Amino acid sequence: MSSVRRDYDPAELGGGIYPLLNSVVVPRPIAWVSTRSADGVDNLAPHSFFTISSVTPPVVQFTSVGAKDSLRNAVATGEFVVCLSPEQLVEQVNATATDFPPHVSEFDAVGLEREPSRLVAPPRVAASPVAIECRLAGTRDFGGGSTVVFGEVVWVAVDERVLREDRPAIDLLKPMARLGANEWSTIGEVSDRRRVPYAELQAQA
Ligand SMILES: Cc1cc2nc3c(=O)[nH]c(=O)nc-3n(C[C@H](O)[C@H](O)[C@H](O)COP(=O)(O)O)c2cc1C
């Protein structure tokens, strides 16, 4: 039996495209973005529109939907830190998504300990196992209020307790993911699968 698909035209959906894409581009990792404002307020906010943009040079990106403090600070100071959002901190991650005014630091409002970064001014979240320190590598504004923020990775610090055989282990990192609407998820079942080289397929034929 063939499936019956429902079709969506972004031109007709307007703002409705946002919850739709949010529900189907899943699961998304949650960048816990730390920035410092030009006048010295430490800001922290989760951003799930987050990924790796480039390997050489190493670049990551997050997207600000609207003009938020994280975007303003990253552009004003040229620096940000992406911390991993682990299961054990899910309530704190969510609490930093409250729309605190710019003069209020989420670190203090939520009660999160800072840890100094190595190369940039915005602090790390001390309790997060991973900090990716970035210098602004540009922004891309598509005109409708969403701005992609690119950051060149200048330092990565990983808590040794989440390393196994010198590699960050997924069961120790315990990252949270964002799904549609207000849904969150944990990592679920993990499996290992080798990528088969074409030459191997040919040799078997
Ligand atoms: C799990 C989660 C993921 C989020 N992802 C994004 C995102 O990708 N982009 C965005 O603009 N806002 C996102 N938000 C909302 C922001 O965190 C929220 O608007 C926050 O107040 C922004 O803080 P700021 O003004 O200090 O930057 C997300 C919220 C949560 C809880």
Q: Tell me: the pLDDT tens digits for 59-83? A: 999 999 999 999 999 999 999 999 9
The binding-site residues of ligand 1, defined as CB within 6 angstroms of any ligand atom, are 30, 43, 45-49, 63-66, 68-70, 94, 97, 99, 178
Overall average pLDDT of the 104-118 stretch: 98
Residue 107's pLDDT is 98
Ligand 1 centre and the CA of 44: distance in Å?
9
Overall average pLDDT of the 146-163 stretch: 98
Overall average pLDDT of the 146-159 stretch: 98
Distance (Å, rounded) from C-alpha 175 to C-alpha 22? Answer: 18
Q: Which atom of ligand 1 is nearest to the CA of 50?
A: 8
| pLDDT beyond 90 at 1 | no
Ligand 1 centre and the CA of 101: distance in Å?
14
User: Going edge to edge, which strands form the sheet with 28-29?
Assistant: 28-29, 177-178, 184-185
Q: What is the pTM of this model?
A: 0.97
Distance (Å, rounded) from C-alpha 126 to C-alpha 115? Answer: 5
Overall average pLDDT of the 158-185 stretch: 98
Q: With cut-offs at 50, 70 and 90, classify the pLDDT of residue 2.
A: confident
| Residue carrying the six token digits 């998304």 | 28
Q: Which atom of ligand 1 is nearest to the CA of 93?
A: 31
| pLDDT beyond 90 at 18 | yes
Q: With cut-offs at 50, 70 and 90, classify the pLDDT of residue 10.
A: very high
Mean predicted lDDT score pLDDT of the chain: 97
Q: What is the percentage of the chain residues whose pLDDT exceeds 90?
A: 99
C-alpha distances in angstroms, 157 versus 119, 133, 135, 143?
A: 11, 8, 15, 35
Topology of the domain comprising 16-191: Pnp Oxidase; Chain A (2.30.110)
Distance (Å, rounded) from C-alpha 39 to C-alpha 187? Answer: 38
| pLDDT beyond 90 at 193 | yes
Ligand 1 centre and the CA of 1: distance in Å?
41
Residue 135's pLDDT is 99
Q: With cut-offs at 50, 70 and 90, classify the pLDDT of residue 125.
A: very high
Mutate to test the pocket of ligand 1, among 18, 37, 47, 96 (most ligand atoms within 8 A of CB): 47
Nearest CA to ligand 1 atom 4: 47
| pLDDT beyond 80 at 117 | yes
Distance (Å, rounded) from C-alpha 161 to C-alpha 174? Answer: 12
Residue 113's pLDDT is 98
Ligand 1 centre and the CA of 68: distance in Å?
8
Overall average pLDDT of the 114-125 stretch: 98
